[in-house]
Amino acid sequence: MNISMIQSLINAIEKPAIFIDHHYIIKATNQAYSEHYKTAIKVGVSHCYQISHQASNPCDQHGEDCPLLHCKASGKSHRVLHIHKNGDNKEYCDILMRPIVNDDGITIGFLEILDKVSYASHRSENDKLIGASPAFRKMLAMINRCAKSDISVLLHGDTGTGKELVANAIHQASERKDQPFIVVECTGLSESLFESELFGHEKGAFTGANTHKKGLIDLVKGGTLFLDEVGDIPLSLQVKLLRLLETGTYRSVGGMVTKQADFRLICASHKNLTDMVAQGTFRHDLYYRLAAFPIYLPSLAQRQEDIPLLAEHYLAYYSNNEKSFSASALSALMLYPFPGNIRELKNIINRAVLMGDDNIITLASLGLPHFNSAYENGENLTLKALEQTYLQQICQHQKGKSAQEIATLLGISKRTFYRKLKQYNISLREIS
């Protein structure tokens, strides 16, 4: 396969694409790639990392996973999530790298296809998933894997991790993005209300049904249906949902006409559905229908390095860019375990904006449990000093709990907890 044939190949690709050799040199590019990047491309001279990262060496030498190296090692295609630099901006990109072989089976180069991730950002942006930590990027990679298909997705993770935001991101990245995204809160739905809400009802179907009402399955037609806290659906209702998914058909309450459903299903639960299946409180056949593609949403404690970014983002939102954090306040947020996750972070910052009279959000304004506001007093405490103080205070407040329980509360392993106790010379007797 010669360069002219390769050029014809990538010209047929709608997304930005390039062909590179074993030494990262761009040998061919399509118009979409040339138009996407602000750095001018010199075919046969420019290296891919010079264009996409504005760097002087390959991406694996500055902290990213290089797909070309994986392709070389395995001889197979490889997909990665990168943060590319484009002019003064940075953007998340999903990269698919494919080795190109000639008739003799020899790899002559690599085809790179770029897909911009428009629903996520590594900086403060409204209406986007925000983060840059490894746990966050792993979640984004899973979203990209499933978004373009119609596979059923199950989002699982702790309360407050942003399941509805992730569900909406999947919808926005799908082929159904121009159609409705409808949320159903499953907690507390009675059997009659569940059927009426989902399938609609005819006039006179039951007492109080004075008019015909369309159901959410009617309204979502062509779009995405998000069932939040699906683990709260009673067993008696689970069979009705299963029948809808298995047959793809439904009837309104009191109706005689069978209708065809057309939607993509995303579900979420903070409960462990596999445990519920084992306990007999959730149907195993429904579980396998819902969990065709599970995605784990990491807790905020598991993406600690995203906390400053998220904190600054919400502070700007709630204070209209009028306030900033003191050094000790931001350090304290880095240490706090956030059992309520992102929802709790938002609430803490919103409260701090309302409670603070000055333009600086102090440690006292945050009102975090186990942090002594006396440490603020204008003193520029280091992260290390705050961590030591925090560990001492939380151990004092958690007397009677095991080391494992406190480590779980802190979002760290038991081994890490013991290492930090030793580092700060905190006696285990303080938590006995």
Neighbours of 57 (CB within 10 A): 12
pLDDT mean over 109-123: 93
Domain boundaries defined on the chain: 3-116, 129-296, 300-431
Distance CA 71, CA 25 (A): 15
Q: What rounded mean pLDDT belongs to the chain?
A: 89
The answer as to CATH 3.40.50.300 being correct for domain 129-296 is yes
Instruction: Give the pLDDT score at 426.
Output: 85
**Pair of tokens at residue 251:** 């009837």
Length in residues, the chain? 432
Listed in sequence order, the residues at least 6 apart from 208 whose beta carbon sits closer than 8 Å to its beta carbon are: none
3-state secondary structure at position 225: strand
What was the pLDDT predicted at 381?
A: 63
Instruction: Please classify residue 342 by burial: count the beta carbons closer than 10 Å to its beta carbon, then call 0-12 exposed, 13-18 middle and 19+ buried.
Output: buried
pLDDT category at 139 given cuts 50, 70, 90 is very high
State the pLDDT at residue 1: 65
Give whole-number Cα distances, 323 to 314, 335, 367, in Å: 11, 21, 17
Question: Is the predicted pLDDT of residue 431 greater than 70, yes or no?
Answer: no
Give the per-residue pLDDT at 253: 83
Q: Is residue 37 within 8 Å of 51, Cβ to Cβ? A: yes
Tens-digit pLDDT profile for residues 278-337: 999 999 999 999 999 999 999 998 998 999 999 999 999 999 999 999 888 888 898 888
Per-residue burial over 14-48, b if 16 or more Cβ lie within 10 Å, else e, is: eebbbbbbeebbbbbbbebbeebbeeebeeeebbb
Can you tell me the mean pLDDT for 101-113? 92
pLDDT band at 374 (very low <50, low <70, confident <90, very high): very low
Write out the H or E segment, with its range, that includes residue 74. helix 67-74
- State the pLDDT at residue 429: 62
Distance CA 265, CA 414 (A): 38
CA distance 143 to 166: 8
Place of tokens 């309520």: 340
pLDDT band at 389 (very low <50, low <70, confident <90, very high): confident
Question: Does pLDDT of 375 surpass 60?
Answer: no
Q: In this structure, which CATH number among 3.40.50.720, 3.50.50.60, 3.30.930.10, 1.10.8.60 belongs to the domain 300-431?
A: 1.10.8.60
**pLDDT over threshold 80, residue 379:** no
Banded pLDDT at 428 (limits 50, 70, 90): low
**pLDDT higher than threshold 50 for residue 378:** no
Query: Which of 361-384 are b and which e, b meaning 16 or more Cβ less than 10 Å from the residue's Cβ?
Result: bbbbbbebebbeeebbeeeebeee
CA–CA distance, 337 with 413 (Å, rounded to integer)? 13
Quote the tokens at residue 9.
């190949």
Q: Which pLDDT score is estimated for 21?
A: 95
- Of the chain, the percentage scoring pLDDT greater than 70 comes to 95
Residue 382 has pLDDT above 80, yes or no: no
Tell me, what's the pLDDT at 159? 93
Looking at CATH, the fold of the domain delimited by 3-116 is given as: Beta-Lactamase (3.30.450)
**Six token digits for residue 283:** 């149907």
Backbone angles phi, psi at 79, to 5 degrees: -120, 135
Query: Which strands form 264-269's sheet, in the order they lie side by side?
Result: 181-185, 224-228, 264-269, 153-156, 293-296
54-86 per-position pLDDT tens digit: 999 998 888 788 999 999 999 999 999 999 998
Output the pLDDT for position 22: 95
Q: How confident is the model at residue 393 (pLDDT cuts 50, 70, 90)?
A: confident
In this model, does residue 198 exceed pLDDT 60?
yes
- Whether 107 has a pLDDT exceeding 50, the answer reads yes
Largest CA distance in the chain: 76
The tens digit of pLDDT for each residue in 155-187 reads 999 999 999 999 999 999 999 999 999 999 998
Q: What is the predicted pLDDT for the residue at 372?
A: 58
